Amino acid sequence: MSNKTSSVAKAASSGGSTKCGDLMSWLKRKEIPVEKETAAKVPFDEKKDTLEAGKEDVSPTPQGSVEYLKSLVENIGWRKVLLVEFRKEYMDKIVKFLQAEKEKGVKIFPPQHQIFNAFNLTPLHRIRVVLIGQDPYHGENQAHGLCFSVCKGVKPPPSLINIYKELKTDIPNFKIPDHGCLESWARQGVFMLNATLTVE
């Protein structure tokens, strides 16, 4: 699969690329031990096909706070790794900016509760492939926290159609889906992150 990754990412868009080495070297520099999560810590409702994680250990906090943003990282392992970033000054500035834009009535995508879906759907220790996109789609019901992916029921965008075509070329038995939701990829270890997590 690794031999196919670069061609797929390049075909997706000019912003798509694989930077697994960069991500892993960043994590190594942090020198934070990552424990393997258990199902008990991060419960998952297979029937609803949505995350139900973190509800037990997340106390109510104001939406315009860093603590609230941190609570959206429901995966315990990722939350430990990202803790140092949430403590930095720039994170407070981001939260204040987003809150100010929200109060002005600016629509921000993806919805706040889905900003960290890439982290919540793909635990750190399960990452096999890293795809980096540019920024989230800015149409209604499109962006949901995974680069190149759209919500269920939404027509696949051109960048994702290109990925499907490349996969079909590389893997003759690949069946092109009639949807653009890549959550199943994320659960299999494909870490799909946009360089910019939100967009107007």
User: Looking at the annotation, which residues are catalytic?
Assistant: 135
Give the dihedral of Cα atoms 168, 120, 135, 129; nearest 10 deg. Answer: -40
Report in angstroms the alpha-carbon separations of 148 from 9, 36, 133, 140. Answer: 10, 27, 7, 15
Backbone angles phi, psi at 36, to 5 degrees: -75, 130
170, two tokens: 């590389």
- 17 C-beta neighbours (distance < 10 Å), count: 18
- 169 C-beta neighbours (distance < 10 Å), count: 13
Task: Using alpha carbons, select from 102, 61, 125, 97 the residue that is nearest to residue 196.
Answer: 97
Contacts of 140 (CB under 8 A, 6+ apart): none
